Structure 1
Amino acid sequence: MKLTLFSILLGLATITWSKPKPCSKPNHQAFNFWLGTWDVRTANGKEAGLNEITRVNECLILESWTGKKGLKGSSMNYYDPQLQQWVQHWVSADGTIIHLKGEAKEQGIAMEGTIYYAKTKKTFPFRGEWQQLKDKRVRQYFSQQDPKTMKWVTWFEGFYKKRAGKTP
């Protein structure tokens, strides 16, 4: 009996307890379809710019945008387990700041929040959607609420096509 108890204790002593990795749950991976280096075109097919989306670590995705006219901007994207929502903070070189929160949907991510324009010092309600298309492109759609009509108007619609040879 002592040998059996000793064997059990010895077995328990050799078990290594591993904690689950932070940000390893499916909610944290829901934006992985956006990772990569992308050529972006508008809805009418005109070149809009280049966007590089990288996962810095298990918990954080960074976006680095360069528009066709040279305007640059970056965003930080992460799943917040306390809010149980995705969060995006965007800042561009012209001082535009976007704060969005939302959730993963069946085909992508949908968020809403505000956009602030440094030039006019005005803030408006703002929405963003990212949708993975069947052909592996990503559709990004932003809309802003018009303060006069209170209607949502298209702010930007872009179609992302992965650059050949580039992986996330």
Structure 2
Amino acid sequence: MRIVVHLLVFIVFNTLATAQNSTCKCCTEKHSEFDFWIGTWEVTNADGTKAGQNTIKKLQNGCVLQENWISSTPAYSGTSNNFYNNKTKQWEQIWIDNQGQSLHLKGNKVGNQMILQTDEETNSEGKTVYHRVTWTDNSNGTVRQLWETVTDGEDVTVVFDGLYKRKN
């Protein structure tokens, strides 16, 4: 009798969990690939100086990963919305800061890195340019964010190299 009761309890809970997941459009493994970035972070530059603080949380039933950046540079902040696009089968980020600048990045997770980049553009010198941002999920719980500008496919300039450490 106990086995039957346990089996029934298992079936009921399993059915409820399956029903909840089928109504949650963003409760998939792909939608969780960027979850390593969720948290409240102190961010330092590559030289160890304070870059700012960042809070990343999930919204809209887990469909959006929202970033809220506050720089150590006075009066600079920005917000991004990150999401897995089921149509294109890739991650996208829309960044907008309080200076009116924006960035639209697209890409995928490779190993322990989320690698997103802009479309190629032609700069004022007629050279092809794109931005690439890589978030690395480090084994010690930190996250490295490396933002690079790539010109003519070979000249790489580091725009930002930050280390994220969780705030307690």
Q: After TM superposition, is the score higher than 0.5? A: yes
In the alignment, is residue 139 of structure 1 matched against residue 144 of structure 2?
A: yes
Question: 8 Å contact 1:138–1:160 — kept in the other structure?
Answer: yes
Query: Residue 46 of structure 1 aligns with which residue?
Result: 49
- Normalising by structure 1, what TM-score? 0.78
Select 1:98's aligned residue among 77, 94, 103.
Answer: 103
**Greater share of helix residues, 1 or 2?**
2
Query: Residue 35 of structure 1 aligns with which residue?
Result: 38
Code of the aligned partner of 1:47: K
Q: Please give the alpha-carbon distance, in whole angstroms, between the structure 1 residues aligned to 2:50 and 2:138.
A: 19
Q: Please give the alpha-carbon distance, in whole angstroms, between the structure 1 residues aligned to 2:58 and 2:72.
A: 24
- Normalising by structure 2, what TM-score? 0.78
Select 1:59's aligned residue among 53, 58, 63.
Answer: 63
1:64-119 CA distance string (max 9 Å, x none): 00000130000000000111100000011112211100001110200111599xxx
% identical equivalent positions? 29
Larger-Rg structure: 1
RMSD: 2.3
Gaps of 5+ in 1: 1-14, 117-122
1:131/1:161 CA distance change after superposition, 3 Å: same
3-state secondary structure, aligned to 2:118: strand
Matched ranges for 1:50-89 at <5 A: 50-57=53-60, 58-70=62-74, 71-89=76-94
Query: Residue 161 of structure 2 aligns with which residue?
Result: 157
Which structure has more relative contact order (CA 8 Å, sep 6+)? It is: 1
Code of the aligned partner of 2:161: E
Question: 8 Å contact 1:37–1:52 — kept in the other structure?
Answer: yes
- Following TM superposition, the consecutive aligned residue runs of length 4 or more in structure 1 with deviations greater than 2 angstroms are 15-20
3-state secondary structure, aligned to 1:99: strand
Count of matched residue pairs = 143
Q: Please give the alpha-carbon distance, in whole angstroms, between the structure 2 residues aligned to 1:115 and 1:40.
A: 28
Q: Please give the alpha-carbon distance, in whole angstroms, between the structure 2 residues aligned to 1:115 and 1:72.
A: 25
Gaps of 5+ in 2: 1-14, 122-127
Q: Please give the alpha-carbon distance, in whole angstroms, between the structure 1 residues aligned to 2:72 and 2:151.
A: 26
1:39-88 CA distance string (max 9 Å, x none): 00011101000000011131001100000013000000000011110000
